Structure 1
Amino acid sequence: MVENQSDTFDIGGDLTVNRLGFGAMRITGEGIIGEPDDVGNARAVLERAVELGVDFVDTADSYGPGVSERLIGETLDTASEDLVVATKGGLLRNTDADWLPHGDPDYLRNAQLCSRDRLRTEQIDLYQFHRPDPDTDFEDSVHALAELKDEGLVRHVGLSNVSVDQLDRARDIVEIATVQNEYNVANREDEDVLAACENYGIGFIPWFPLAAGELDDVDGIDRIASRHDASRYQIALAWLLAHSDVTLPIPGTANVAHLEENVAATAIDLRDEEIDRLA
């Protein structure tokens, strides 16, 4: 089985990770609420990811809520220097499975305490503001994360679902290590945010890296996949890795076989003309 062959990136300048990570949203229950149907399988997926050389795991307190973080804390050695665990705060959940922005500074401070407890760590490697809250001043939310960094409770600060303007405003307050926005071969609306990250040397974490499977409109992807004896999803990941040196794809799955297929995508070397065809 192919192990992680992606290049590396230094998050915040000092946390070196393989560029293909793992997104741990799917190891929860239906609707990203509650326990998974098979907890043992969820643990096996996490363990297999690390075995395959995945050393960057991304989660959030809203996944479950709390379930994904707890399973990671119980299953993996989150204190290991060989593993970087990123989490996010700033979204509330309810029984209708809604995602409700909540960027109140006091809430974010409380949320990171809970995340640290579930992840079984004294310091969160990368703590990301999950989504700007229209009812809270954006700078106030970012200041809260900056204070957590100053106190040593989080090592690096990241943002998610932000514009270039919001990124620049946040950078006036605290060093930003990563930005996590929706981006994939089928959806490049945030190309300007990726370009800003390239300019600043910031990691760009594309969520929905496989476009939730909606790749029918990507011209040429199936032909390229056939040429490499790969799936269209593997080509989508290979394209993300080739498209920019700062991309850190985090495909998620609750299936070991799918995980192995995703990691195998790191061995695909797309030709320049194939990259251009997908551009």
Structure 2
Amino acid sequence: MNTAAAAGTWRLGDLEVNRVGYGAMRLTGNGMRGNSDGTPIDRAAAVGLLHSAFEQGVDHIDTAAFYFSPLRSANELVNRALSAWSGDVVVATKVGPGREPSGEWLTMARPDQLRGQVEENLRQLGRDHLDVVNLRRNGPDTASVAEHFGALAELRRAGLIRHLGLSNVRPEHVTEALAIAPVVCVQNSYALDWRRADETGLVDLCRELGIAFVPFFAISGLRREASADQRHDARVRSVARAHGATPAQVRLAWTLHRGPHVLAIPGTRDPAHLAENIAAGALRLSAEELALLDTPAEDAAGS
């Protein structure tokens, strides 16, 4: 059985993790924008799924207090799973945006409100400190991250946070934040068909600085929150057939091939898909296959 260790490791500050992790958002039955993905998973099944991930070598989880639906909270499910698990698992969460208990999204939190968001994550996860907290930039109203990141740096000095990261940012935000405190990871939307982080130079900047780049929506194609099988073009399918793999596995493998600093946090509620996602870390693509995948879709279609 392939494990998450097959893709190698990376260090988030002093925390070494396998490059293939798990994103907890889909456990709630709601997407990031509140789009329903169906009936939430049974709590016992969710804990079992997370334990299965841990058994297969997953040792870091992405979550957030704002990942919840009327019936489920991602942090609550992660807390339950970790309380019955003896191994070490790094938990990364996010602050910045907020949601009312009704699910309605709020505007970006003020810097002085971030402590409350951090403490809410601590309560929900049942911890006395958070391993990694990503400041998620929420829209054009937060052009600068300095004031918000500075507030989180104070909480890091107070011992509530171990390491800091950024999410949904541009290269200049990374530079701005680094002048305040160390940054261990940057989490942005990035996929084979969604390469804005390449266009801005963010992926390469993170490599140069020794910062983990953590894509979300890595297997979703252009529709981002769509399920992984919505947009698989001929080049992905051909590479998948050559390896006896699924198109989703090829997309994940392509992402991991972007550099040893690139992590993966695919989420699923299906145990079979979980195993497939983890196995993608062992998939090795040739230079020719990577060149084919890097061909723009419209060029490949006309060849």
Q: Percent identity among equivalent residues?
A: 38
TM-score after normalising by structure 1: 0.92
- The correspondence for 2:62, drawn from 58, 64, 72, is 58
CA displacement at 1:30 relative to structure 2: 3.7
Number of aligned residue pairs: 278
**Structure 2 equivalent of residue 245 of structure 1:** 260
Is structure 2 residue 42 aligned with structure 1 residue 38? yes
Asked whether the 8 Å contact 1:78–1:121 carries over to 2, the reply is no
Q: Is 1:145 the counterpart of 2:148 in the alignment?
A: no
Question: 2:41, 2:110 → 1: CA distance?
Answer: 33
Report the Cα distance in structure 1 between the residues aligned to 2:289 and 2:54, rounded to whole angstroms: 30
User: Aligned partner of 1:7: which letter?
Assistant: G
Taking a change above 3 Å as real, the CA distance of residues 215 and 272 of structure 1, as seen in their structure-2 partners, is: farther
Worse-superposed segment, 135-144 or 105-114: 135-144
> How far, CA to CA, are the matches of 2:179 and 2:210 in structure 1?
16
| Structure 1 residue 219: Cα displacement | 5.3
Segments of 5+ residues of structure 2 without an aligned counterpart are 221-225, 295-303
Asked if the contact 1:22–1:54 (Cα under 8 Å) also holds between the matched residues in 2, the reply is yes
Q: Distance in 1 between matches of 2:90 and 2:169?
A: 23
- RMSD across aligned C-alpha pairs, in angstroms? 2.3
Question: Is the contact between residue 132 and residue 138 of structure 1 (CA under 8 Å) also seen in structure 2?
Answer: no
- The 1:22/1:117 distance shift into structure 2, 3 A limit, reads same
Residue 47 to residue 2, structure 1, CA distance change in 2 (3 Å): same
Paired with 2:243 and 2:173, the residues of 1 have a C-alpha distance of 39
Which of 152, 176, 200 aligns to 1:169? It is: 176
**In 2: Cα distance, 1:269 partner to 1:42 partner:** 30
* Contact 1:239–1:275 under 8 Å retained in 2: yes
- Distance in 2 (alpha carbons) for counterparts of 1:278 and 1:254: 28
C-alpha displacement of 1:271: 1.0
1:118 equivalent in alignment to 2:133: no
Q: 1:159 aligns with which of 166, 169, 183?
A: 166
Rounded to whole Å, the distance in 2 between the matches of 1:120 and 1:17 is 21
Given that 1:142 and 1:170 are in contact with CA atoms closer than 8 Å, whether structure 2 keeps it comes out as: yes
8 A Cα contact 1:132 1:162, kept in partner = no
Q: CA deviation at 1:186?
A: 1.2
Secondary structure of the corresponding residue to residue 10 of structure 2: strand
Listed as ranges, the gaps of 5+ residues in structure 1 are none
Deviates more, 1:224-233 or 1:208-217: 208-217
Deviation at 1:253, TM superposition (A): 0.6
State the alpha-carbon separation in 2 of the partners of residues 164 and 103 from structure 1: 22
Q: Per-residue deviation at 1:58? A: 0.6
Residues 1-279 of structure 1 correspond to what in structure 2 (within 5 A)? Answer: 1-4=1-4, 5-12=6-13, 14-31=14-31, 36-64=40-68, 67-77=73-83, 82-94=88-100, 99-132=105-138, 134-135=140-141, 138-191=145-198, 192-211=201-220, 212=226, 213=228, 216=231, 218=233, 220-279=235-294
